[in-house]
Amino acid sequence: MSGTQSSRFGKYLLLEKIAMGGMAQLYRAKITGVQGFEKLIAIKTILPHLLDEKDFITSFIDEAKLAALLNHHNIVQIYDFGIIEDSYFIAMEYLFGKDLRHILRRSEEVDSPLSLEHALYIASRICSALDYAHKLKDFQGKPLNIIHRDISPQNILVTYEGEVKVVDFGIAKAASQSTVTQHGMIKGKVGYMSPEQAGGGQIDHRSDIFSTGIILYEMVTRKRMFTGDTLQILAKVREAAFEPAEKACGGLPPKVYDILNLALAKEPDRRYQSCGEMLADLEECIFALPRRPTARGLADYMKILFGDAVDAAGGVKEDSARGGPEADSSLGQDLAAAEEAKEEPAGPSEEKGDTKPRKRLAPIAALVAVLVVAAVVFALWPREKSAGPPVKELAQPKVSEPSGAPAPGKADTSAPAKDPSKSSDRFPQAKALQEEAGRLMGKNPEEARSLLLKAVQIDPGSAQIHFELGLAHMKLKDFPKAIESYQKATELNPQLPDAYFNLGYIFAMKKDYPRAEEMYGRVVKLTPPYLDEALTNLGLVQEKQGKTEQGVESMEKALAINPQNSVAKKFLDKHQKKK
């Protein structure tokens, strides 16, 4: 399919093909449901001529499963994975924004360089995502030893709302299994490889640290770290032969040079040993800046660079469900770039020594991701972010225990514009406390709650902070306090489906089914991306009250949205047999 002609693909509507690489093709797509529910997503499918390649299919499936485990606010998420019409596919979030390659290029074109604070902020978000991925364990507690292998400007997305997202975790390993083509030419973005990766040696998570260092180097110096043709670049990368940052760009804070020197050490043992260590130094450096970076500030910078596109993206967010205009997407460009057989300059200009650009989930046009759900998760699982887990029986609800550091809840993602005076971005200390609490939530919820209580005192008007405080209370099983926090969040932002969902979960656990029904009903009215889950839980609590007809109706709607909803199927089959 090409152009603007649309076609049905299972429960999805493919709107147009936006990219095709060597292994896969990417579509802008839409998922539709009851009551006019619509959502833009991206669909990636394997190229038809590769469908008989067993090894590639196996790799594609394995990597999709791996990507499904990643659940972090700086990583693009996968919504679905499966096979439709004999074609394997991945459904991902469709974002409005640009990838870092495009951002750097555009900053050069309009003579508006990326500031030091924004560069450090972007690097810190990359480190946060990678530290989470590197430490992630499976459901049995076994380390997954994830390595991205392709950290480059093309795979760093900045949305028009100032969110930073790392993409292509799902294909990184598969894409890196063969770095040499049949003709012996190097394949991939060698200018962002670590020395051991370029030399074909054994790599571990420290390879991603070196690649992150390259990105930071290019953002602050506005120069490519390695230049030349592909083979010249490869030779330089193997030897870590580059101009020291002190010479490439003088006048930076000494701490910045220290960070770069540690991240870019040739020998892995002399580098940072974890992205968490690098993140700590970046945050210390940021804290010392006269002006602290924030997502809002980065969003303002994106508007300077891409004003028209940012305005268009805003229109899409509001109007997409009604068939409104669509913003441009870098996702297709990213896919093509990730699968190119030769190195493409992607970063600062080699001639002028300035920088060049790329995108993710909250904003540019598109990208990825999300979760292949595990059957072990329960239906009434409380929501920590907008993409929901699979559902099971109402009789066994429980609070989720994340396998890694959880992403902060995305409570404000569907919220209308708020008064800036009530935004936590206006209170850097509250924002810092909130982010630190997010990192601690999984392993130390008590400390996370303490930090969030302080953040609430500083910025009592932030619905997001109240929502995350509710999560902390839930993890500590302090449900009365959790109810208070969620109710406060909904007072500040009545368009917050995640808070209503979690309230429904708590009331269902307390067997207060009428109030649970009310909460799930509010979620349904807000039509979030996990609408079928909300309808499923609504049907379950309606049945608990003897409202069988309403329960059946809710389950039918859930199944119409997601034909793979096993809970809804079993529910309807059971009631069909009773007739």
Q: What is the pLDDT of residue 84?
A: 87
Residue in 543, 534, 570 with CA at minimum distance from that of residue 33: 534
Considering the domain 7-93 in this protein, what is its CATH number? Answer: 3.30.200.20
Judged against a pLDDT cut of 80, whether residue 180 lies above it is answered with no
Percent of the chain with pLDDT over 90: 42
- In this structure, how many other beta carbons lie within 10 angstroms of the beta carbon of residue 112? 12
If pLDDT is split at 50, 70 and 90, which confidence band does 430 have? confident
Judged against a pLDDT cut of 90, whether residue 129 lies above it is answered with yes
Q: CATH 1.10.510.10 region(s) of the chain?
A: 98-338
User: 420-578: what CATH class?
Assistant: mainly alpha
Q: CATH 3.30.200.20 region(s) of the chain?
A: 7-93
d(CA 228, CA 243): 14
- Phi, psi (degrees; rounded to nearest 5) at 25: -125, 155
Q: What is the pLDDT of residue 22?
A: 64
Identity of the residue numbered 211: S
From the candidate CATH numbers 1.20.1530.20, 1.10.510.10, 2.60.40.10, 3.30.9.10, the one assigned to the domain spanning 98-338: 1.10.510.10
523-578 pLDDT, tens digit per residue, is 999 988 788 889 999 999 999 999 999 999 999 998 888 887 888 888 898 888 77
Catalytic residue chosen out of the listed positions 150, 208, 281, 532: 150
If pLDDT is split at 50, 70 and 90, which confidence band does 333 have? very low
For 42-51, 496-505, 551-560, which range has the lowest pLDDT when averaged over its residues? 42-51
Write out the two tokens for 217.
Answer: 């180097």
273-305 pLDDT, tens digit per residue, is 999 999 999 999 999 988 889 999 999 999 999
Q: What is the pLDDT of residue 568?
A: 86
d(CA 274, CA 135): 9
Segment holding 389, helix H or strand E? none
Q: What is the pLDDT of residue 358?
A: 30
- What is the average pLDDT across 109-119? 94
Residue in 370, 151, 191, 162 with CA at minimum distance from that of residue 278: 151
- Phi, psi (degrees; rounded to nearest 5) at 312: -65, -40
**What's the full length of the chain, in residues?**
579
Residue 357 or 204, more confident? 204
d(CA 492, CA 521): 19
Region of residue 358 (left: phi > 0; alpha: psi -120 to 50; beta: else): left
d(CA 374, CA 492): 33
**Maximum mean pLDDT: which of 10-14, 119-123, 496-500:** 119-123
**pTM score:** 0.55
- For strand 38-46 and strand 87-93, is the pairing parallel, antiparallel, or unpaired? antiparallel
367-409 pLDDT, tens digit per residue, is 333 222 232 233 344 555 433 333 333 323 322 222 232 333 3
Q: CATH 1.25.40.10 region(s) of the chain?
A: 420-578
Question: Is 150 considered catalytic here?
Answer: yes
Those residues whose C-beta lies under 8 Å from the C-beta of residue 40, and which sit 6 or more positions away, are: 28, 29, 30, 94, 316, 320, 326
d(CA 124, CA 113): 19
**What is the Cβ-side half-sphere exposure of residue 227, based on CA atoms within 13 angstroms?**
13
